């Protein structure tokens, strides 16, 4: 049995857990751990330039691979800087392990230098947290932390380690536990067959069925099962912002994204459906439009989720099914095959005819401007075409995020990397780094806005250090576009603190200052050629600064307080 210090145990345990990469930033309380990292080559450490970026990079890695992201930060400000990234992962149920240094045990509670109560400060945004008391507990805690973070509804787990627990002078026997014993934590596996039967009966008697799926299908690796079930039934399907890619966007049964900026046809079909099958979704306010009493007024609601607390939280489920999405969908498909009932084909045809009429509205139609001004939607479409829909696309938060979600058709799960729940600006760029570390040969694009990008621009340096060829497509409208859009629509066009055109940097020069490539695009006729040029530079980070129409809005847009059928469709049209 090896004799290891606490710091060495931690790194060895990460290796034994299969961790290949961790994102971090050193500081006083974790120096013993960093020395342990120095002495090994099994776990690669990536030095970011801000702890928040470490969490987002780990998050991007986790979303793209399905494996937990791992973060190492020091105590105090290192830990607090990580909190936004932890909350981001928590809201989107992303498996993540955050190891934070802590002051020495004897100093805890004395307001020591760089002391903060990390377990306390992170409590509302973690699935669980551990405070290490003694070095010998480290392997067991790491094992439990990974188990909790990656099973059931995944989420971030914090391990706070006082500096003395990693003391290199104190060595002890190391053994990594083979299994986890947690009497208070059980993971629901299969759904209840009786409940699934009830759902199947409802689906097979539906006249106007609708399938609505979210991030749970992606996290639960249920994409294949979902596609199989949906094809078998022939029902229309929509994905939430978090669920894009779970069902191929190019398929005719796919109605596009739903919700606040969802398509006309998806939102209309939601409103008028008579049976709604929600899978791995949480009926959040960006879908239901806050007044849940107007939500799907005629529908029997079937809700599949691994988290019982998500069921009937905002919208009461008529048939709740708690279980892992993939297994529930499999059983559902099986039961449909064996049922004495069958899909009401006639009713379904009438329903599809109605949906096709809604579809004819072509709500995402792009009307290019005549004066050569670039529309943000055109940029996303061009990126989609040039990358052949194969890229990993991360985004920040705001108009560009919605344009990316609407116009980049995701065919596969885990390709769309965005902060849907917390809505964290500054997420996209470090997340794209995490994706690129996971898949060095893939195209990792960050579709961002100039406002969001400025929140984590320091990661240019990380990308140079590790030669990451991330492509950044900045839809530069010289304003906080979504804020400005709301100010246009609800505040009489009073742009209170949402514009700053005169103080923006020259982004291409900024990229060049770090040794990267900067490309500026100002006219619509050079959009394709310059984007192609950017993506042709396979080994380089390219920042593409695209000057887009500053007056463009995201449509459709839900009307506040309305039902899902109530939408603004353009600056002059509403439903």
Tell me: does residue 530 bind other proteins (CB under 8 A).
Answer: no
| Least distance CB 419 / other proteins (angstroms) | 20
Backbone φ, ψ for residue 97 (5° rounding): -115, 125
Q: Would you call 459 a catalytic residue per the annotation?
A: no
- 127 touches other proteins by CB under 8 A: yes
Residue number, 285 or 307, with CB nearest to other proteins: 307
The least CB distance from residue 185 to other proteins, in Å, is: 5
Instruction: Using the rule CB under 8 A, give the single segment among 102-110, 126-134, 490-498, 533-541 that binds other proteins.
Output: 126-134
Identify the three-state secondary structure at position 240.
coil
3-state secondary structure of 69: strand
Query: Quick check: is 113 catalytic?
Result: yes
Q: What share of the chain is helix, strand, coil (3-state, %, to 5)?
A: 40, 20, 40
State which residue, 124 or 492, has the beta carbon closest to other proteins.
124
- In the bound state with other proteins, the residue whose beta carbon lies nearer, of 80 and 151, is 151
The residue among 133 and 571 lying less far from other proteins, judged by its C-beta, is 133
Are 413 and 245 spatial neighbours (Cβ–Cβ below 8 Å)? Answer: yes
Q: DSSP states of 543-565 as a string?
A: EEEEEB-TT----SEEPTTS-TT
482 is catalytic: yes
Segment lying near other proteins (by CB under 8 A), choices 92-100, 261-269, 304-312, 545-553 = 304-312
State the burial class of residue 356 (Cβ atoms within 10 Å of its Cβ: 0-12, 13-18, 19+).
Answer: exposed
Closer to other proteins by Cβ: residue 65 or 151: 151
Smallest gap from residue 513 Cβ to other proteins (A): 43
Minimal distance, residue 290 CB to other proteins, in Å: 16
Contact between 243 and 214 under an 8 Å Cβ cutoff? The reply is yes
Copy the structure tokens of residue 49: 């330039």
Closest CB to other proteins among residues 127, 359: 127
Q: Does 308 bind other proteins (CB under 8 A)?
A: yes
DSSP string for 384-407: HHHTTT-SEEEE-SSHHHHHHHHH
Report in angstroms how near the CB of residue 195 gets to other proteins at its nearest: 16
Q: Is 109 in the site for other proteins (CB under 8 A)?
A: no
Which one from 8, 9, 23, 51 is the annotated catalytic residue? 51
Q: Can 42 be counted among the known catalytic residues?
A: no
Q: Closer CB to other proteins, residue 313 or residue 574?
A: 313
Backbone torsion region of residue 320, taken as left when φ is above 0, otherwise alpha when ψ lies between -120 and 50, otherwise beta: beta
Nearest distance from residue 502's CB to other proteins, in Å?
Answer: 41
- Sequence-separated (6 or more) residues with CB below 8 Å from residue 445: 383, 387, 391, 392, 393, 394, 432, 470, 471, 472, 473
Q: What angle do CA 303, 309, 310 make, to 5 degrees?
A: 40
What is the nearest approach in angstroms of other proteins to the Cβ of residue 133? 9
What's the longest Cα–Cα distance across the chain? 76
Q: Which of 31, 119, 464, 559 binds other proteins (CB under 8 A)?
A: 119
By C-beta, is 131 or 431 nearer to other proteins?
131
Locate all alpha helices (DSSP H) within 427-506, ordered by sequence.
Answer: 428-438, 450-453, 460-465, 481-490
Q: Which of 3, 38, 40, 113 is catalytic?
A: 113
- Active-site residue identified among 44, 114, 361, 458: 114
Torsion (CA) 256, 398, 447, 19 in degrees, nearest 10: -90
Q: Which stretch binds other proteins (CB under 8 A): 41-49, 115-123, 191-199, 260-268?
A: 115-123
Residue 316 or 357 having the CB closest to other proteins: 316
Q: How far is the CB of 518 from other proteins (least distance, A)?
A: 44
C-alpha 493, offset from chain centre = 31
Our finding on whether 307 is near other proteins (CB under 8 A) is yes
* Closest listed residue to residue 473, CA positions, set 413, 564, 394: 394
128 scored as a contact of other proteins (CB under 8 A): yes
Question: Is residue 349 within 8 Å of residue 372, measured between CB atoms?
Answer: no
Give yes or no for residue 91 binding other proteins (CB under 8 A): no
Q: 210 phi and psi, to 5 degrees?
A: -150, 140
Within 8 A by CB and 6+ apart from 557, the residues are 260, 261, 489, 567, 568
Q: Which stretch binds other proteins (CB under 8 A): 124-132, 263-271, 446-454, 560-568?
A: 124-132
Catalytic residue among 127, 143, 144, 163: 163
Check binding of 123 to other proteins (CB under 8 A).
yes
96 interacts with other proteins by CB under 8 A:
no
d(CA 436, CA 439): 5
Interaction between residue 129 and other proteins (CB under 8 A) = yes
Instruction: Number of residues interacting with other proteins: please give it, by CB under 8 A.
Output: 19
Instruction: Report the alpha-carbon distance of residue 294 to residue 461 in Å, rounded.
Output: 49
Please, what is the Cα angle at 400 between 395 and 404, to 5 degrees? 65
Contacts of 356 (CB under 8 A, 6+ apart): none
The residue (of 44 and 117) whose beta carbon lies closer to other proteins is: 117
Residues 168-227 that bind other proteins (CB under 8 A): 182-185
45 in contact with other proteins (CB under 8 A): no
The answer to whether 520 is a known catalytic residue is: no
Pairwise CA distance, residues 13 & 138, whole Å: 8
Work out which of 77, 109, 120, 372 binds other proteins, going by CB under 8 A.
Answer: 120
Q: Any idea which residues carry the catalytic annotation?
A: 51, 113-114, 163, 482
Residues that bind other proteins (CB under 8 A): 119-120, 123-124, 127-129, 131, 148, 182-185, 307-309, 312-313, 316
């Amino acid at each position: 049995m090896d004799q290891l210090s606490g710091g060495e145990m931690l790194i060895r345990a990460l290796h034994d857990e299969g961790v290949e990469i961790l994102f971090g930033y050193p500081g006083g309380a974790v120096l013993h751990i960093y020395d342990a990292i120095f002495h090994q080559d099994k776990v690669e450490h990536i030095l970011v330039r801000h702890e928040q970026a470490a969490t987002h990079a780990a998050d991007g890695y986790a979303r793209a691979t399905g494996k937990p992201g791992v973060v190492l930060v020091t105590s105090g400000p290192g830990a607090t800087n990580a909190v936004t990234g932890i909350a981001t992962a928590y809201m989107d149920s992303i498996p993540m392990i955050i190891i934070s240094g802590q002051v020495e045990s004897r100093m805890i509670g004395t307001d020591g230098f760089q002391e903060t109560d990390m377990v306390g400060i992170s409590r509302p945004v973690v699935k669980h947290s551990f405070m290490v008391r003694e070095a010998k507990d480290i392997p067991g805690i790491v094992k439990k932390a990974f188990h909790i973070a990656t099973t059931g509804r995944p989420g971030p787990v914090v391990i706070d380690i006082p500096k003395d627990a990693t003391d290199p002078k104190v060595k002890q026997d190391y053994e990594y536990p083979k299994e986890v014993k947690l009497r208070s934590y059980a993971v629901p596996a299969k759904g209840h067959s009786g409940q699934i039967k009830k759902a199947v009966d409802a689906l097979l008697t539906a006249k106007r069925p609708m399938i609505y799926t979210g991030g749970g299908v992606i996290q639960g690796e249920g994409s294949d099962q979902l596609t199989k079930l949906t094809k078998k039934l022939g029902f229309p399907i929509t994905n939430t912002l978090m669920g894009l890619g779970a069902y191929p966007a190019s398929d005719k049964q796919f109605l596009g994204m739903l919700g606040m900026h969802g398509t006309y046809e998806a939102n209309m079909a939601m409103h008028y459906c008579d049976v709604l099958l929600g899978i791995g979704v949480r009926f959040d306010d960006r879908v239901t439009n806050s007044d849940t009493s107007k939500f799907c007024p005629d529908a029997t609601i079937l809700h599949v989720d691994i988290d019982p607390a998500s069921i009937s939280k905002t919208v009461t489920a008529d048939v709740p099914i708690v279980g892992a999405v993939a297994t529930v969908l499999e059983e559902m498909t099986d039961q449909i095959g064996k049922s004495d009932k069958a899909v009401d084909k006639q009713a379904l045809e009438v329903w599809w005819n109605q949906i096709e009429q809604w579809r004819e509205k072509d709500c995402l139609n792009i009307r290019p401007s005549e004066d050569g001004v670039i529309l943000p939607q055109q940029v996303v479409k061009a990126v989609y075409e040039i990358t052949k829909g194969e890229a990993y696309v991360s985004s920040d938060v705001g108009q560009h995020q919605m344009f990316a979600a609407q116009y980049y058709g995701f065919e596969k799960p885990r390709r769309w990397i965005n902060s849907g729940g917390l809505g964290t600006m500054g997420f996209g760029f470090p997340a794209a780094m995490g994706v690129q570390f996971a898949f060095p040969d893939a195209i990792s694009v960050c579709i961002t806005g100039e406002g969001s990008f400025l929140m984590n621009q320091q990661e240019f340096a990380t990308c140079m250090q590790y030669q990451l060829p991330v492509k950044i497509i900045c839809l530069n409208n010289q304003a906080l576009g979504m804020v400005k859009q709301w100010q246009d629509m609800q505040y009489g066009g009073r742009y209170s603190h949402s514009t700053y055109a005169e103080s923006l940097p020259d982004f291409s020069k900024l990229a060049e200052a770090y040794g990267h490539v900067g490309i500026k695009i100002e006219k619509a006729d050079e959009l394709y050629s310059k984007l192609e040029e950017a993506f042709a530079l396979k080994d380089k980070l390219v920042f593409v600064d695209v000057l887009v129409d500053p007056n463009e809005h995201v449509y459709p847009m839900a009307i506040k307080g309305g039902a899902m059928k109530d939408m603004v469709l353009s600056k002059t049209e509403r439903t």
